[in-house]
């Protein structure tokens, strides 16, 4: 006899696949597709851009996740409210035919104005995990010369792609994760996860980083203080199959249109932010330049804008300079607009964090001052 606990576990484990089967039998999938296209006509806008929500670091049965690549992209398209999505399966398991299958599945569900997909892989080394998105090829952390972080860096530098530091601190068992950012920074590395799965900012942003005696700088700020120009990201790192429904947290991209080319341009420009609330819109401009920009040192005006389609109240806005809090505004506002002026110096970077009444937060990518 099969234990009841085993039956319950398997039902929970495969509930999204059971849902797909039931909807297919009932003929409801077509109506759901029409609903997705209708629901996604009107977008949140802020700072002159549309706001698109999704995640880029997820897994299928190509590595250690549930569902084929087709199943996974299908589920994200049909059953989530995300605007964009990517797989980033562990490099150790990927075979060339599976890499091709990931592209076929991604391309099938990439629909301009409705849903944008990418393909990626996760370099899964014992010195850290890195998501590489939108590359034509993949590499393995077990094959020379990409078996070191420096080797991966060299590979990324000559490849058309963007890369993200994943769940910083988690793989630092030998005290050398990402070799603690001592390599020459690469402009292909555009972000770092500040949340991962159900682990929120409390683990991956509010931390003491790798280095002692640096005024408790986080992993994120330790990297940016060393010249890496990293934006604020996060991803479900979903292995369960319920993509977009596992959490309410999102990576939010500011772009003109929902197309692969527009979102990729925004990723390369670090025009994105990390949010614990999937309906929170955020803009941070310095001298008219949106988050992620690299600008010359000068005296600039800035503007912070935030809103939420669920009419949630914002209570705190904080601005950070080089990892230290520069200013804080205590407010009770549905729509936030804060302006001011800052004197910048070469090598500085600035970002903002907003907090809502329910405790949800969002962190912008920085605006960087040329060194």
> What is the rounded average pLDDT for all residues in the chain?
92
Range in 3-7, 55-59, 236-240 with the lowest mean pLDDT: 3-7
Residue 8 scores a pLDDT above 50: no
Residue 1 scores a pLDDT above 50: no
Residue 141 scores a pLDDT above 70: yes
Compute the distance between CA of residue 148 and CA of residue 82 in angstroms, rounded to an integer: 34
310-328: pLDDT as tens digits: 999 999 999 999 999 999 9
Average pLDDT estimate for 30-57: 75
Residue 208 scores a pLDDT above 50: yes
Q: Answer yes or no: are the C-beta atoms of 334 and 313 closer than 8 Å.
A: yes
Instruction: With cut-offs at 50, 70 and 90, classify the pLDDT of residue 5.
Output: very low
Instruction: With cut-offs at 50, 70 and 90, classify the pLDDT of residue 12.
Output: very low
Confidence (pLDDT) at 3? 40
Confidence (pLDDT) at 43? 83
292-305: pLDDT as tens digits: 999 999 999 999 99
Q: Answer yes or no: are the C-beta atoms of 270 and 233 closer than 8 Å.
A: no
Residue 26 scores a pLDDT above 80: no
Compute the distance between CA of residue 282 and CA of residue 284 in angstroms, rounded to an integer: 7
Confidence (pLDDT) at 21? 44
Around Cβ 361, how many Cβ atoms within 10 Å? 22
Looking at per-residue pLDDT, the higher value among 26 and 222 belongs to 222
Confidence (pLDDT) at 256? 98
Determine the angle formed by the axes of helices 96-108 and 69-79, rounding to 10 degrees.
20
Q: Give Cα separations from 262 to 50, 51, 116, 257, 353 (angstroms).
A: 11, 12, 10, 6, 25
192-202: pLDDT as tens digits: 999 999 999 99
Token pair, residue 353, equals 């964090």
Residue 22 scores a pLDDT above 90: no
Confidence (pLDDT) at 15? 54
Name the DSSP letter for residue 315: E
Average pLDDT estimate for 105-119: 98
Confidence (pLDDT) at 32? 43
Which residue has tokens 């341009």? Answer: 265
Query: What percent of the chain shows pLDDT beyond 90?
Result: 88
Domains plus CATH for the chain?
42-278 (3.20.20.140), 282-371 (2.60.40.10)
* Residue 213: exposure state from Cβ atoms within 10 A (0-12, 13-18, ≥19): exposed
Q: Give Cα separations from 159 to 138, 144, 188, 228 (angstroms).
A: 10, 17, 9, 18
pTM of the model: 0.91
Residue 111 scores a pLDDT above 50: yes
Average pLDDT estimate for 141-169: 98
Residue 28 scores a pLDDT above 50: no
Token pair, residue 332, equals 């009770």
Compute the distance between CA of residue 355 and CA of residue 316 in angstroms, rounded to an integer: 5
Residue 135 scores a pLDDT above 60: yes
Query: Beta strand 84-90 with 116-125: parallel, antiparallel or unpaired?
Result: parallel
Instruction: With cut-offs at 50, 70 and 90, classify the pLDDT of residue 4.
Output: very low
Residue 53 scores a pLDDT above 90: yes
């Amino acid at each position: 006899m099969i234990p009841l606990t085993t039956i319950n576990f398997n039902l929970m484990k495969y509930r999204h696949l059971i849902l797909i089967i039931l909807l297919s039998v009932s003929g409801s999938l077509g109506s759901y597709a029409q609903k997705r296209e209708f629901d996604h006509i009107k977008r949140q806008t802020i700072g002159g851009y549309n706001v698109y929500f999704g995640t880029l670091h997820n897994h299928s049965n190509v590595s250690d996740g549930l569902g084929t690549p087709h199943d996974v992209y299908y589920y994200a398209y049909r059953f989530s409210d995300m605007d964009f999505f990517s797989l980033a399966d562990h490099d150790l398991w990927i075979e060339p035919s599976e890499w091709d299958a990931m592209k076929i599945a991604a391309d099938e569900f990439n629909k301009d104005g409705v849903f944008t997909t990418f393909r990626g892989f996760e370099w899964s080394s014992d010195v850290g995990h890195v998501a590489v998105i939108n590359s034509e090829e993949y590499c393995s952390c077990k094959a020379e010369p990409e078996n070191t972080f420096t080797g991966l860096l060299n590979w990324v530098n000559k490849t058309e792609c963007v890369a993200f530091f994943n769940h910083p601190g988690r793989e630092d068992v030998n005290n050398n994760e990402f070799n603690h950012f001592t390599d020459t920074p690469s402009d292909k590395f555009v972000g770092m996860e500040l949340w991962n799965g159900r682990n929120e900012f409390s683990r991956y942003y509010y931390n003491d980083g790798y280095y002692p005696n640096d005024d408790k700088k986080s992993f994120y700020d330790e990297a940016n203080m060393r010249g890496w120009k990293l934006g604020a990201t996060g991803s479900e790192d979903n292995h369960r199959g319920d993509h977009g429904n596992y959490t309410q947290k999102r990576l939010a991209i500011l772009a003109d249109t929902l197309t692969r080319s527009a979102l990729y341009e925004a990723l390369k420009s670090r025009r994105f932010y990390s949010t614990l609330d999937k309906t929170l819109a955020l803009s941070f401009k310095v001298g008219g330049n949106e988050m992620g920009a690299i600008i010359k040192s000068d005296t600039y005006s800035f503007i912070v804008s935030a809103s939420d389609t669920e009419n949630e109240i914002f209570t705190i806005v904080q601005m950070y300079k080089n990892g230290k809090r520069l200013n804080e505004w205590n407010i009770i506002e549905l729509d936030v607009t804060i302006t001011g002026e800052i004197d910048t110096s070469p090598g500085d970077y600035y970002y903002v964090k907003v907090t809502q009444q329910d405790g949800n937060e969002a962190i912008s990518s920085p605006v960087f001052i040329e060194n």
